[in-house]
Amino acid sequence: MSNTLPALLFVGSGVALTLELLIGGIAVGVLLGTSLAILRYMYKGICGNCIGRIVSVIRGTPLILQLSIVYFITPVLLDCKLSILATGIIAFGINSSAYVSEILRAGVESLPKGQFEAAKTLEITSCYMWKDIILPQVFVNIFPAFINEIVSLLKETALISVIGGMDIMRKSQIIAAEHYEYFTPLCLAGAYYYGLVILIEYIGQKIEKRKFYAKNS
């Protein structure tokens, strides 16, 4: 038991990388996912189908495979070595963008068509329509699903340990291997992850309570 405190601190120092991956991944995921969802809504033809297929492939292949592709193949293609953090943010961001775009698409499809028509009637250009009329409403409606996506991405960042990222997971494995004792470090890692999940859900609920208008007009 004398090892518990150092283990707690050591595993805890992995929270930094885990959070960096999460925040970076979500940022890329939201930007890319929103663009994909908008493009897919606006161009229902070939372009939309292509995006749909890409999203489907990303959702239909293992994240660990995508991470490996980014880690092993981009250095060959781009002729430069990416850091573990950059690799993680790119892979998790692209993966997350597929899920975010699906969530957003459902949100956009569920808005009354009249909202688009009203914007058109008032001669609001497409860019402002999305920015000020459609997306603000959609973001409120999909907020709970979005929090779920953040939580699942948080858990998936643990995969960074397979390419050597020193996150919560990896650090707990290191401690475990040093002391030939697995129970405490793995439980600690679990506690850190779960603590972060609780925190995210708490913040999510706080924001949701501040919603200041109903979903329908």
Residue 136 is a binding residue for another protein (CB under 8 A): yes
Residue 213 is a binding residue for another protein (CB under 8 A): yes
CB 39 within 8 A of CB 127: no
Question: How remote is the C-alpha of 55 from its chain's centroid?
Answer: 14
User: Of these, 2, 5, 77, 123, which contacts another protein (CB under 8 A)?
Assistant: 123
CB 163 within 8 A of CB 84: yes
User: Of these, 95, 96, 137, 172, which contacts another protein (CB under 8 A)?
Assistant: 137
Residue 112 Cβ vs another protein, minimum distance, rounded to whole Å: 7
Residue 215 is a binding residue for another protein (CB under 8 A): yes
CB 84 within 8 A of CB 165: yes
User: Of these, 118, 162, 187, 199, which contacts another protein (CB under 8 A)?
Assistant: 118
Question: How remote is the C-alpha of 39 from its chain's centroid?
Answer: 20
Q: Which of residues 170-199 bind another protein (CB under 8 A)?
A: none
Q: How many residues bind another protein (CB under 8 A)?
A: 23
C-alpha 209/C-alpha 190 separation (Å) is 28
In the complex with another protein, which residue's Cβ is closer, 117 or 181? 117
Residue 111, number of CB atoms within 10 A of its CB: 15
User: Of these, 9, 43, 49, 117, which contacts another protein (CB under 8 A)?
Assistant: 117
Q: 140: which 2 tokens? A: 């409120």
C-alpha 12/C-alpha 72 separation (Å) is 28
- Check the CA dihedral 17-65-87-202 and report its sign: negative
In the complex with another protein, which residue's Cβ is closer, 72 or 128? 128
Q: 106: which 2 tokens? A: 């459902």
Residue 133 is a binding residue for another protein (CB under 8 A): yes
In the complex with another protein, which residue's Cβ is closer, 75 or 114? 114
User: Of these, 120, 177, 181, 195, which contacts another protein (CB under 8 A)?
Assistant: 120
User: Of these, 122, 183, 206, 210, which contacts another protein (CB under 8 A)?
Assistant: 122
The angle formed by the CA atoms of residues 58, 61 and 67, to the nearest 5 degrees, is: 80
Residues lying near another protein in the complex (CB under 8 A) are found at 112, 114-115, 117-118, 120-125, 128, 132-133, 136-137, 140, 212-217
